[in-house]
A and B are shown apart, each in its own frame.
Chain A
Amino acid sequence: MSGASAPLGKDLLGLEPLTGEQIKLILDTAEPFKEISERAIKKVPTLRGATIVNLFFEASTRTRISFEFAEKRLSADTVNVTASGSSVQKGETLVDTARNLEAMRIDMVVIRHGASGAAQFLAERIESNVINAGDGTHEHPTQGLLDMLTLRDHFGRLAGVKVCILGDVLHSRVARSNIWGLKKRGAEVAVCGPRSLLPNAIDEFGVQVFDHVEDAIDWADALNILRLQLERMQGGYIPSLREYNRVFGVSRERLDRAKRDVLILHPGPMNRGVEIDSDVADGPFSVILDQVTNGVAIRMAVLYLLSGGRPELAESAKGASR
């Protein structure tokens, strides 16, 4: 954290270690980046010459493409590495893979990994900036940030906004990043889901807990509906997808019974008919596609704020500030 040249420090590993001010800085910085994606030429030269590796050990469409667009619109050079078809399949360790990439003189690594803490593990061992694009059940900070930006766009603020995170909180890195980030900006946060899919220590997160989705809808200004991973049924967490939909699914009828309009967010990919019904996902209060649009701006802001800045050269360059 060396002053103005590294406003976020070297890496973005999660929202838990950030201050409320740093989160606000990322959200504010994302605003002007939205406009770049509306231009005919969707590109600025900001990261020209920087090399970024997208290291995806888990399947991802949205996040990987979103990062790739963000990198390309900032003029960075990018390389995608996925676990299948790389030396990872031959048994190379994470650190060896990263060190080899670093030996090719890269500047940043965006990592998605199935193990919680993988991003931090890597960040402590390589010089390049590391951005966590989701690690196990730990955090997915850029998703949390784009959810917050979407909420702020709609409500004009985050302080006092009531957000309920609905579904499989236990396994969700998106839920954790949302809880940390939203609370730091003064939003009120609740969770709702079957007790088998809530962490035992949910009280320690400082959030309200609803057992009935109807109560959550009555309370909330916005619902962030998590994806129910289909393999949870085999794991014995829920009896059946159908029952989950009947008890916790967000349907038009449930929303119509609420006292006021509730904004609908979903990080994707959606299981239509399980955690969310189609007429809700495509309904007037859904901002699900706005989230995707904001994702590119948020990732551009994070890349920009982590980039560049060699403090030792800053002094001599100050004279040329105009």
Chain B
Amino acid sequence: MADEIVELNDGTDDLIIVGIQRRGVQLAARLVSHIAESEGANVAQGALDITLYRDDLQTVGPRPVVGPTNIPVDVDGRRVVIVDDVLYTGRTVRAALDELADFGRPMRIALAVLIDRGGRELPIQPDIVGKRVEINPDQRVDVLVNELDGRDAVVLSDREGAA
């Protein structure tokens, strides 16, 4: 995936890799270190928490935990790659695009996800995908990362009452 990001953006110039809270942030950090190894380039890294941009706040109410948003560099005219763990309805990415627009006007925004599970509700498609899976709406996919969960794994499970 790291190689694809470099290829898609014709190198690492002006590149910013932005992870979506929470697990997208760890994945973004890994992509940045992969690129540092293979290309010898230090790519800027950021984090977005899209909680305040959700379109369902009035229905589900506030999510108590809002994580930090940190865009360390000016995004105007640069190439941004948004990184998330699982792409499902596309609503998170919609919110992330809105939030990024409040920071400036990047030259290009691309989307990289580890898992694309289908089921889109918005016209949003990823540019770079780790793995595509077709699963039922009553199942859920969770990506576990070592930094937060103690191990790296992708877990498929039946959806329990509370998501």
Q: Within the complex, what minimum Cβ distance (angstroms) separates A271 from chain B?
A: 38
> Is the Cβ of B60 less than 8 Å from the Cβ of A313?
yes
A319 contact from B62, B70, B103, B137, Cβ within 8 A? B137
Q: Which chain B positions have C-beta within 8 A of A103?
A: none
Q: How far is the CA of A307 from the CA of B98 in the complex (A)?
A: 21
Minimum Cβ distance to chain A for residue B53 (Å): 6
CA distance A75 to B110 in the complex (A): 28
Asked if B40 lies at the interface with its beta carbon under 8 angstroms from chain A, I say: no
Contact A4 B61 (CB under 8 A): yes
Q: Does A206 contact B (CB under 8 A)?
A: no
Report how many residues on chain B are interfacial, defined by Cβ distance under 8 Å: 31
Interface residues on A, range: 35 or more
**Which residues of chain B have C-beta atoms less than 8 A from A100's C-beta?**
none
Contacts of B38 in A (CB 8 A): none
In the bound complex, do residue A29 and residue B61 qualify as a contact, i.e. CB atoms below 8 Å apart? no
Query: Out of A28, A310, A316, which one reaches B65, CB within 8 Å?
Result: A28
Q: Which residues of B contact A49 (CB under 8 A)?
A: 58
Query: Which one of B52, B58, B137 lies within 8 Å of A44 (CB-CB)?
Result: B52
B61 pairs with A5, CB closer than 8 A: yes
Selected A-B contacts with CB under 8 Å, 18 pairs: A5-B62, A29-B65, A31-B68, A32-B67, A32-B69, A39-B103, A40-B103, A44-B53, A45-B98, A46-B52, A304-B52, A307-B57, A308-B60, A309-B60, A314-B59, A320-B56, A320-B91, A320-B121
The 8 closest A-B pairs by CB, nearest first: A309-B61, A5-B61, A322-B88, A44-B52, A313-B59, A46-B52, A317-B59, A32-B66
